Every structure is written in structure tokens, then in C-alpha cells.
Amino acid sequence: MLNPNDTIQVSRFHPRTPPGRPLEVGWGQAFGRWLWHLVVLPAEQAQPWPQWVIRYIKPAVFALAKQLRVTNPSSMRSWLWSLLLVDPPRAYWSSPETYATDARRGRPPSIRTLLHQAIYPYAMPVAWSSAQKLESASLAVSRAFSRLHVSVRYTLTGAAVVVFVMAATTPLNLGQQSVVLVGMWVLTLLTRQLTGYGPAIILMGVSMLASSRYIWWRLTQTTDLDSNLEAFLGLGLLAAECYTWVVLVLGYIQNARPLRRRPAPLPADRGSWPTVDVFIPTYNEPLRVVKLTVLAALNLDWPPDKLRVYLLDDGRRAEFKEFAKACGAEYIVRPNNDHAKAGNLNHALQLTQGEFVAIFDCDHIPVRTFLTTTLGWFLRDRKCAMLQTPHHFFSPDPFERNLGTFRRVPNEGNLFYGLIQDGNDLWNATFFCGSCAVLRRGPLQEVGGIAVETVTEDAHTALKLHRRGYTTAYLRMVLAGGLATESLSGHIGQRIRWARGMAQIFRLDNPFLGRGLSFFQRLCYSNSMLHFFSGIPRLIFLTSPLTYLFFELHIIDATAVTLGAYALPHLVQSSIANAHLQGRFRHSFWNEAYEAVLSWYIALPTTVALINPRLGKFNVTAKGGLIEHDFFDWRISAPYLVLVLLNIAGALIAIPRLLFWNSFEAATVAVNLIWTLFNLTLLGAVLGVAAETRQVRSAHRVVRSMPAMLIAADGRRVGCETEDFSMGGLGVRLLTPGGVKRGDVFSIELMNEHREFRFPVEVAVVRDVHVGLMLKPMSIEQESDYVRCTFAEPGAWADWDRGVEPDRPLASLAEVFSFGATGYLRLFESVHNGLVAWWHNDVRPKKIEAEAVN
């Protein structure tokens, strides 16, 4: 982890090369950097020089400047002073008194001094006048170059757009389109092996070209349908495809070059650090969950007189008030629960005075260095109103638990917090996510506090700040850990709220309308909102092939071969480009699975929010629950079971169509059958997630290795290191086997900041050198120290992506297929178990009773 006190120069538009990175870069990196500066960045930030200028010419110029004693090689005036042997700002000979003093000290005048004395009275007025004129000329040249740069940029951009449009809309016959397909594929194979931004730009460009050619072909050559029903269904499919094209293009722009911001240092004088209020809102969460966050916040590394921690309890629970008093946190309640979380935060804003406000959901546990890592950017950029950090979950979400992918496949949120927010940061479009963030109080009060007009108050608040001209920042450093939703129903409920809220913002405060946003800010906000409108398009994709298999309706007016020639480049190139950009944060084809799970449940809320954005209310996401036994969630999976039955029926009908009824267009039947089988795979993965698996532990464990020592009552010491920890206990590995048995009572010693802390434990499990320890009851001070040594330790969440396998598109596709098969097996198992239970509990007792009566 980076030391927040290290000085690292970072610009929003041009991050400096981190220490240790070699100067030499490949052609792809050099090309991407040059193109980026020339075409994208503002003229005052860009450095549109070819790499050879920076590498060879600039060092030579600076070396010459050193020989000529030029104090500032970038200044024309400084060069003139040096060439005229004049350096007024630092010359010891700048006055006659200086020469007299040197003569009295016996210093003989040098040749340079004599020359200065001879030419200074005559050359100085001329030099000063010439320098002013040259400086003005230099400034004029600089301004002219800036205007030329802008002109070149617009010219190149316009030419590129014209060429792209021509390439995307030029009609080609089947043979020519096949040649284009092969050419794109060869270019992709050559480019994807390289590193840097240049190859990424090329892959995105090729993907956009392939997708644009497909969409243009669909718009102009495939909509001449025979019947009104075919036209209606065909236009619906085309609209869904246009939606995916828009999201694809906006996603490429949004994620073109993640900023990768580094921490900014704080002043050495801690007395000059600002005051901070920490808000922890809660409503119905259990105290065992909230307690960790409050204790971690109280342990934040910040001057105690400049830090206040507030527990905002909308549940008005006596035990929470007693806990806050015992641990030293402030406790705030309000007379009503208007506007839910946003109202809770706004009420606290009225009662507090800190210059900055740090907000944590009640299950997000911050590390001690959270504030020292984040606050530096506010001091560097006085216009910065909000800084966001990632939401990291140390417990598995329903996908990870039910499909067994925890710590192996990237979490659903990794793409957003690993790539998208980092990409937003480049365009000054990072938005507030409700937790793990710091906000400046002044701008927040200027926009009226946390937004209450929509149920996604966090993103809406950031939009208001951006409209006022404030900047935001994002640090892709995991500085807090929280709990994921336990069940699929809870997960879907949370996403429904997000989808409804984003649709409300799109309707009430559309980023494309109104003042205050830059062009790229509008694009980034729009793409983040449009993402939640994927419900209806995904349902269209899940049912479209059935229109032909059931009713023989042709909703695309094209032969299967021509469709393949245009659709394959669109699908393949976008998959390759996204794998190159997103592979570390989301594996290929998993996006389709995530969208399939949510599609039914977000389709209606987003549509209703567009029509009437005032409908709907805030629903709290439950955390800290427990899945006590395996079960299949029939209520959540009901709409997908209907889709499964329809697609199975379509696949079965495809067989006689392929062999008998429609053998004259076998290719069309085959395309729709393959499409249906893929849909069945996605739906199978949905059913796999709906099969809830039992959660063994109520307290989730964090994997972390730390040196430790077991100390017995008689002073005996047993060396060990931790393997994981929770508030219920620890798993340790003994350095030497033996000496520990079940039921033994020890004190475990943990080190933190060169201090030793001891906590009472009892041995619960012994397996060779692996020992499970159960924490015994502790005082509030001991609990606070334990949280400081474990959850709040600066490196507690540093391994957020540990164990995640690299993305391999074909392997990911095979994995999605395997999860689809697993989902159907779990469905059949649930049906079988239900029938057996029904037989033994209902039918069989009645049958035995009837036989006894007879």
C-alpha cells in the first residue's frame, strides 16, 4: 500500500509516471500516448510532441542550458540573459557597491566581471527591451501554437469521424464483407498481444467499426418485413440492439483511459489538518454489524480534537444509544424518518460543524489510514467537493456463494469500482456512491445537502455538485470492507432501488439537459444511467428466437449467412475489446448472466420511473442476515422458470423444423436454435443463483496473515500466525505442531503500531497445525483494540483481488455453460426433494390412515 505521506505529482489529465517505471515504452504505448494528447486532452494540458522529441531533443536542450547557465530553459528571457552574460536576479555584480566591496577584500576582477562592467551600462537597456519583446513574441507564439493545436485537433477529429462514418455505412456484398471480417480478425490478433493504451484504442476502434457496420446494415437493409406483427417484433429487436450499441460506444469513451489517481500528501503539521465529522447512518441493522464500523471509525488516524464520530440511528434503539455512550461516539436521532438515509444525513449536517464529512454505511469498516489517504486531494484541489473510494465486500454475494465463485471470479461490483469509476475520474465525472467517501461541507450545503428527489441520493448529489462547477475524485484503493447482500431476493431488491433511482435522475435531472456539465461528463453520467435500462432489451434477447421457432416469423429480413457475416464481427470484436479492457474486473459473458438475473425485476420499475418519477420509495438493503439452510427461491425464480419452459419448448420444436418443416432454410433454424440454447444457459445460471446455499458462519471471516503469539496462564508461549479472523474468533497456523488441545484457554497477542494487544480466546478446533480460536467476552475497550488490530489495520483489504483468475473468453464461456447445467441440476434436485417431502408429509400419512380405517 502506498504511503499517503509520499509526494506524488499527479494531474487530472496527465498523471506522472510512477517511480520505478522504465522510460522506454513500446510503440503501442507511445502511439496511444501521443494520440491521446493530440486529440483528447485540453490544449493547456496536452503535450502533443512525438516521442523522439521528448526522448532526444529535450535532454540535449537542457544540457546546453546547463552549460550556458540558463536558469529556466523554458524561458526565452532566461536564454537572452545568459547569451548577453547578464543574470540580474542572482548576479553579485549587479551594483557598483558590489565591485567596491570585492576590491576591498582583495578579490581580483575576473574576465567575466570586467566584461560585465564594460557592457552592462550599454547592453542592459537594449537587453531588457529586447527581452520584453521576445517574451511577448514567445507568448504570442505559444498562443498561436495552442490555437493551431486546437485546429489540428478539430481537423483530425472531423476527418476521423468522416472516414469512420464512410467505413461504417459503405454497402458491401457478402464477399467484401467477409474480407472485412477477416481483416478485422487479423488486425485484432496482432494488436491484442501488445500492451499500453495504443492497442486498447485500436481494439476499441475496430469494435466500434464492426458494431456500427452491423447496426447500419440492420437499420437500412433488414427492416423490410412482410406483416405488421413481424414489423412490430422486428423493430423491438432492432431497438434493443441499438440500445446495446449506444451503451457499448459510451462505455468505450467512459473507460478509454482510467486515471489511476494516487494519494496526495497532507501537510507535516497535523495542527493544520481540517476537522472531520464521520457519519454512520443505520436503520434496522443489528448492533453486532454496526459496532465494527463505529469502533473502526473511532480508531481513525486523525487528531482527536479534529474528529467526531456520529452514529445516526433512524431505528431509535436504546441499545445503540448505550453503545455509543460507552465507546465515545456521538448519538443522533431525529423526530421522523423523512427521505430515509438522505434525510438522516441532512439532519446530522444541521447539527455538526466539521469542514469535511466522511460517510460510511453501517457495515463498511474503514481502515485507520482512510482519512490520511483521502484528505490530501481536498487540500491540493480547493474545488474538489467529493472523493470516493471502492466498496469492497469481504463476504460472498449470492452469485459467489451459490455458484462457488468467491475469490475466483471477479465480484459483480469489481467492474464499476475497478474500471468505470477510474474512467469517470479522467473526465471529472466520478459520482458519490453513498459510502466510503469524503465530502466538503461547503459545496454540499451549497447544493442543499444530500439530494432527496430520488432514491439514489448519492449519484444525484454528485450530479448537482458537478453542475455547480466542483470537481470530484476517485482513489482505486480499498480502504474499507463491508458485507454483501446475503440472499438473491435482497440483492435484487437493492438493484431495483438503484435502477429506479437512476431512471428518476434521467427523467428529472437529465445529464444531457441543463447547464454546468462538460460534454464528457454528460456522456459518463448518461452511460451509468442507461446501464439500468437493460431489463427490457435483455428480455427481448431471451425471447426473440422463439418468434421464429413457434410462429415462423422472420423478424430480420436477411439470410442466415449474411446475418452471420455482419453479426459475427460485431459480437466477436466487442467481446475481445471488452476482455482486453475489463478482463481483470469482469470475465467475459458474465455481464449477460448478471443482466439476465435482474432483467425481469428492473424492467417495470425503470419504465414506471420514466413515466412517473415520483412513484416508489426507498428500501433499506438488509445486511448481516443468515441463510440457515439450503432452499430454492421459487418466488424470485418464477418468471425465469416460465422463460425456461418457453425456451425448452422452442428448442424441441426446432428439431422437426430443422429435419422436416423448414429444411429449406436450415441455416435460419440453426441460428435460432443456437440462440435459444445460449439463452437456456443464461437462464440456467439464474436458477443456480436462486438455489440458496446454507451460510455456515454468522460472523464472516477475513483472510489475513499476521504474526501472533498464544500465551497460556502459566506463561507458556506458542508461536503462530493468523489465517483469518472475525468478531467471533480467529484461525491460526502454529509455527510448530503440538502444545495446543481443544478447550485450552489462552490470550492471543497481536502487534499493532509496535504495541502489543492481548485478547482472551479458547481453542475450539485443532487440525494438526491449524487451530480455530473462539474469542471470549471482551470489554468495549478490548473490542476497540481488537478491531484496530484486525479490521482497521491498513492492509486489511489490500488483497481485494487476491486469487482472481485471469479472463480467458473461451474458458469463461465454458464456465457459464457449466453453471447453467448446475442450475438445472439444482432445480431438479429441489423438485425431487419437494415431491418427496410432499409424499411423506401429506400423501403417505393419509394413505396409511385410510388403510387403517379399512
The answer to whether 798 and 1 have CB atoms below 8 angstroms apart is yes
Partners of residue 439 on adjacent β-strands: 357, 386
Residue with cell 444509544: 321
Neighbours of 476 (CB within 10 A): 19
- Annotated catalytic residue: which of 277, 313, 314, 785? 314
Cα of 607 vs its chain's centroid, Å: 26
Q: Give one word for 24, left, alpha or beta, with left for phi > 0 and alpha for psi -120 to 50.
A: beta
Which cell numbers in the block locate residue 719? 508461536
Residues 6+ apart with CB under 8 A from 569: 180, 181, 184, 185, 210, 213, 214
Reply yes or no on whether 277 is catalytic.
Answer: no
DSSP state of 304: G
Question: At a CB cut-off of 8 Å and minimum separation 6, what does 191 contact?
Answer: 28, 199, 202, 203, 206
Could you tell me the CA-to-CA distances from 752 to 2, 755, 779 in Å, in that order?
Answer: 18, 5, 19
Smallest Cα–Cα separation from 703: which of 778, 624, 791, 792?
A: 791
The DSSP string of 746-787 is EEEEEEETTEEEEEEEEEEEEETTEEEEEEPP--HHHHHHHH
Q: Which three cell numbers stand for residue 848?
A: 396409511
Check residue 698 and give left, alpha or beta (phi > 0: left; psi -120 to 50: alpha). Answer: alpha
CA distance 665 to 661: 9
Cα distances (angstroms) measured from residue 754 to each of 725, 750, 789, 854: 20, 10, 11, 82
DSSP 18: P
The C-alpha cell at 453 is: 428527489
Measured distance CA(441)–CA(439) in Å, rounded: 6
Residue 807 falls in the annotated catalytic set? no
Alpha carbons 779 and 796: distance in angstroms, whole number: 23
- Cα–Cα distance between 327 and 323 in angstroms, integer? 6
Residue-wise DSSP of 27-38: HHHHHHHHHHHH
Q: Which of 750, 774, 633 has the alpha carbon at shortest distance from 699?
A: 774
Q: Which of 313, 361, 458, 744 is catalytic?
A: 458
One-letter identity of residue 201? I
Of the candidates 103, 474, 423, the residue with the CA atom closest to the CA atom of residue 255: 423
Residue 631: which of 486, 744, 766 has the closest Cα?
A: 486
**Residues 617, 775: Cα–Cα separation, whole Å:** 41
C-alpha cell at 78: 532566461
DSSP 343-401: HHHHHHHHH---SEEEE--TT-EE-TTHHHHHTHHHHH-TTEEEEE---EESS--HHHH
In one-letter notation, the amino acid at residue 527 is: N
CA–CA distance, 704 with 394 (Å, rounded to integer): 11
Round to whole Å and give the CA distance between 586 and 578. 9
Alpha carbons 220 and 549: distance in angstroms, whole number: 25
Helix, coil or strand: residue 469 = coil
Nine-digit cell string for 339: 427521505
Quote the cell numbers at residue 498.
438503484
Which amino acids are annotated catalytic? 314, 458
